[in-house]
Amino acid sequence: MKKTLKAFLNLTAFELDRLSKFLYALIGVTLVANMIGYVLIPLRFTDRINAYMVQNSVTEQQALEVYGELSFYDILQTSWILGPIALGVSALLLYAFFIWYREWLGKNTFAYRLLMLPIPRMHIFYSKFVVIYVSIFTLIAIQIVSLIFGFNLMSALVPSEWLRHMSFFSALSMHPFFYYILPLEPWIFLAINGIGLVFLHVTFTVILLERSFSVKGILIGITYVLITLLIALFPAFLPELIGNHYYLYNSELLILTVLSLGLISFTSIMISRFLLNKKITV
Amino acid sequence: MNVTFNKRDPIYLQVITHLKKQMVSGDLQPGEEMPSRRQLANQLKINPNTVQRAYSEMEEQRLLFTETNRPSRITEDPAVLKQLKKEWLNQAIDRFVSAIDPIDLSLEDLMPMIQEELSNRKKDVK
Amino acid sequence: MIEITDIHKQFGRKKVLNGVSFTVNKGEISCLVGVNGVGKTTILNAIMNLTPLKSGKISIDGEKLTSSLYNKIAFIPDAAISLPHYNVQESMDFMADYYDTWNARRAKDIVTFFRLNPSDKLHDLSKGNQAKVNLLLGLALDVDYILMDEPFSGIDVFTREQITEVFSSYLVEDRGVLITTHEINDIEHLLDKVILLDEGKIYKEFNAEVMRETEGKSVIDVMREVYNG
């Protein structure tokens, strides 16, 4: 038991190492873009106010009435901030595929080595899974730190009378991107990550189906995705189906949803295990 | 040690012939220890199982002997050695005679030629 | 003993293996021969549980292959399978991390024998040296069985000679070795058992030495009979 755990940690560290350059690049892009945004937007704002005051020889107050005060939200909704997040999400989504396919593609078929390791093959599955989640959380953590820094930077760059007073959290909550991605509301955050986890399990399963049965595997994979979608959405449509919106409490519907997501995860893991142990081809 | 094996005769027989030649020439002395089957296999670049087979066969012919837990050794039995030399010579003469048989040549003509060849060879060795 | 019993394999409609059975014994060098595309590699992959079979049974010392048996049986495929950005030493360290049977001393011997440089990156190596690294990573495991897929393909003469030497060395002694090759010339004098595959079946299985003794035929002679009609 101890030995397999050590092997698993080894493998996870190994996968993390392979991903690190990619992750550093994402972090780098995020920080650089954010920094530009944090500086550029306030400077442009103060420039504009100052220019307006000089051109029209009006007071600060009048200029602000025209342009409005700057809020952190004005910075958040620029692509300097949203861009890297969208990039991170889509890059990790792509990486979920790449993390498997790179073992087969290219000059070296590393799949041979991985599949012939004297450890349970599901270790490969879990280590890839963990690594993607570690990256997601790393990016989120970096984003939070960056935002806190950006908030303070903005406050330092712009005179406080020119700022609309809005708290850090309310600025973040205003934008759906942050509302869903950052841990602002514990339940939302949990739900989003829960859905993400199930989604990743299903994605891995589809990849393994393709690796095991090639073209036929893609068709089976699409069918599987449709079935999981039906199962996942079933609780939401249940009130429609039975024609009674008051039959179940919302909390009961929530439990049903959690159960159906759990079922999907569990089935995906079972299918993946079967494929890795019995059907996979190098 | 470089031996080329032909691919149609059993290799263990070719190994035996090779070793017999060394015994006849004195490269392998009576009582001398033989390399282990792996060492010889590695030297000749062949399968250890083949060397094993050659050794067993030679033991059966009493050309080699093995005391328990010791490496195999060349026989010290003079009768066996004498027999080996005789056999070797017989085979060589047999091959030689059948090779020159098609040519019509008397023994008197042949003898000086053999002598010359022998002395040439000795010169080469020196 | 590796026991292969009546295995069948299909790629789409094409039957690749159609009831193949044979055994690989410890202390013997066995060789699967046959023209390209006859299913030799598929058999090795199947033994290692790297491709599913339609039917049939494969056992290793009586057991079904599970991941723990990878400490007992090693496969050296005909493709580089270490990470290209690793150097030779890192590739060995990777093996040492996971395999109980990794023998660091023997690995060092092999590195010397093959004249490899531990700090060379794999993607900088010649094809011959990459093949040597592949061999190194398999041979340094203290396993009972070694499978090698086409160890000589696309390799220069001198590397080939060096690799051939492996087969008469202590590196394979007492192990059960199964090789596939279509370049039988280099190794036919090293083989114990020859398994000739043709059209998804075993056409003939024989001991090379016995064949020479009883019929005066080399392995190539027998192959010629099969593939030339």
Instruction: Quote the pLDDT of residue C90.
Output: 96
Are β-strands C55-60 and C29-33 bridged in parallel, bridged antiparallel, or unpaired? Answer: unpaired
Instruction: Quote the pLDDT of residue B67.
Output: 84
Written as one letter, the residue type at C207 is N
Query: CATH topology for B11-78?
Result: Arc Repressor Mutant, subunit A (1.10.10)
Q: What percent of chain C has pLDDT over 90?
A: 68
Query: CATH topology for C2-227?
Result: Rossmann fold (3.40.50)
Instruction: Quote the pLDDT of residue C174.
Output: 87
Handedness of CA A150, A156, A162, A168 (dihedral sign): positive
How high is the ipTM of this complex? 0.93
Domain ranges of chain A: 185-282
What does the DSSP 8-state code read for residue A195?
H
Can you give the pLDDT of all 282 residues of chain A as single tens digits?
678 889 999 999 999 999 999 999 999 999 999 999 999 999 999 999 989 988 888 888 888 888 888 999 999 999 999 999 999 999 999 999 999 999 998 778 899 999 999 999 999 999 999 999 999 999 999 999 999 999 999 999 988 888 888 889 888 988 888 888 888 888 889 989 999 999 999 999 999 999 999 999 999 999 999 999 999 988 888 877 777 777 777 788 888 889 999 999 999 999 999 999 999 998
Contact C97 A282 (CB under 8 A): no
Q: How near does any CA of chain C get to the CA of A119, in Å? A: 6
Does A touch B (3+ CB pairs < 8 Å)? no
Count other Cβ atoms within 10 Å, centred on residue A160: 9
Chain C environment of B53 (Cβ under 8 Å): 209
Chain C environment of B48 (Cβ under 8 Å): 168, 173
> Given CB atoms, is B9 within the 8 Å cutoff of chain C?
yes
pLDDT at B124 over 80: no
What does the DSSP 8-state code read for residue B5?
P
Cα angle: C211, vertex C153, C206; to 5 degrees: 15
- Mean local confidence (pLDDT), C84-95: 94
> Given CB atoms, is C192 within the 8 Å cutoff of chain B?
yes
Written as one letter, the residue type at C78 is D
pLDDT at B1 over 60: no
* Residue B48 host element (H or E): helix B48-60
Domain ranges of chain B: 11-78
Structure tokens at C175: 């192990």
Of B5, B13, B38, the CB nearest to C189: B5
Find, among C68, C142, C84, C82, the residue nearest to A117 by Cα.
C68
pLDDT at C84 over 70: yes
- pLDDT digits 0-9 by tens, B54-66: 999 999 999 999 8
Contact C98 A282 (CB under 8 A): no
Chain C segment 20-59 residues within 8 A of B by beta carbon are: 27-29
- pLDDT digits 0-9 by tens, C32-63: 998 777 889 999 999 999 999 999 999 999 99
Instruction: Quote the pLDDT of residue B104.
Output: 81
